[in-house]
Amino acid sequence: MSIRKTDFVEGEYYHIYNRGNSKQKIFLDGKDRERFLKLLYLCNSKQRIDFYNDITRSKICVWDFERGESIVDIGAWALMPNHFHLYITQMKNARRSSFSGNAITYFMHRVLTAYSKYFNAKYQRTGSLFEGKFKSVHINKDNQAKYLFSYIHLNPLKLIDYSWKEKGIKNKKKAIDFLNSYKWTSYSDYLENFRLENKIINKINFLNYFETKDDFQKEIFDWIKIEVKD
């Protein structure tokens, strides 16, 4: 994977996403998703961490590993079968003593390279896993930011109703139950449900959009309030 030439701006916010090469699936089971989430946590560090030597061989739980100071803040994330979404910002005045270039580019390069190596080894494949460089959209307006939280967390609804955005939600309860049970997004973290994956996100720099979990849930529910009669 080549490194992006254009730097991101410190303190600004970005929607980061990418999908599998030729739209192929990049997560084939729960272990794959868990590995990607663990990399989101571990690679967000100034330290150079080797998964096998520092984690597997040392028999350490990833979520107990002291990764040190993080280099980016992640406000939201979602994993889908063939793509992922992140809402991310580089912390202001981030020190770069252990790496050169931009923190977001460095972080994403580490995550995607490590995950590609894991995936190719596990499934005995070669070649590029992702569709070129990761994509990014600069989020510089409040309405964009608020919408992005809903967009990322509602993305999994495609798995039960691909055309729900165009045709509306036929069964609101089913949709809400699905969101509550789908653990591969940060939705549960904003509902303040305790889990180890809570460590991936840093709400401090993002919570100005939602003061309470009720505010967050109301925003989500407003997007799926239209029910379509059969």
Only one residue has tokens 């100071």, namely 69
Please say which residue of 123, 138, 153 terminates a domain. Answer: 138
pLDDT band for 11, please (50, 70, 90 cuts): confident
Which of the pair, 225 or 167, is modelled with greater confidence? Answer: 167
Confidence of residue 52 (pLDDT cuts 50, 70, 90): confident
pLDDT digits (tens, 9 = 90+) for 176-188: 999 999 999 999 9
Regarding whether 22 and 134 lie in a shared domain, the answer is yes
Find out whether 104 and 90 touch, Cβ atoms under 8 Å. Answer: yes
Rounded to the nearest integer, the mean pLDDT of the chain is 88
- Residue 99's pLDDT band, with cuts at 50, 70 and 90, is low
In this predicted structure, what is the pLDDT of residue 109? 94
Indicate if 51 and 153 belong to the same structural domain. no
Range of the domain at 18: 13-138
Q: What is the DSSP string of 5-42?
A: SSPPPTT-EEEEEEEBGGG--S--SHHHHHHHHHHHHH
Residues 168 and 190 in one domain: yes
CB contact at 8 A, 204 and 97: no
Collapse the DSSP code of 119 into the 3-class scheme (helix H, G, I; strand E, B; otherwise coil) and give the result. helix
Query: What residues form DSSP beta bridges with 15?
Result: 87, 137
Same domain, yes or no: 134 and 148: no
Whether 131 and 185 share a structural domain: no
Look at residue 101 and tell me whether its pLDDT is greater than 80. no
Which pLDDT does position 19 carry in this prediction? 97
Q: Are 205 and 75 in contact (CB under 8 A)?
A: yes
Q: Mean pLDDT over residues 101-120, rounded?
A: 94
Same-domain check for residues 176 and 93 = no
Higher local confidence (pLDDT), 129 or 53 = 129
Per-residue tokens: 48: 């150079």
Read off φ and ψ for residue 17, nearest 5 degrees.
-155, 160
> Does residue 19 sit in the same domain as residue 129?
yes
**Domain identity same for 159 and 178:** yes
Mean pLDDT for 142-151 is 88
In terms of Cβ atoms closer than 10 Å to its own Cβ (0-12, 13-18, 19+), residue 125 is: exposed
**29, 113: one domain:** yes
User: Residue 85: in which H helix or E strand, if any?
Assistant: strand 83-90
Are 133 and 170 in the same domain? no
Neighbours of 170 (CB within 10 A): 15
Q: Is 182 left (phi over 0), alpha (psi -120 to 50) or beta?
A: beta
What pLDDT sits at residue 216? 85
pLDDT for position 28: 98
Instruction: For the chain, give the number of residues.
Output: 230
pLDDT above 50: residue 31: yes
Question: What pLDDT is stored for residue 96 in this prediction?
Answer: 56
Domain end residue (candidates: 83, 118, 138): 138
Amino acid residing at 197: E
pLDDT band at 220 (very low <50, low <70, confident <90, very high): confident
Contact by Cβ (8 Å): 76, 148:
yes
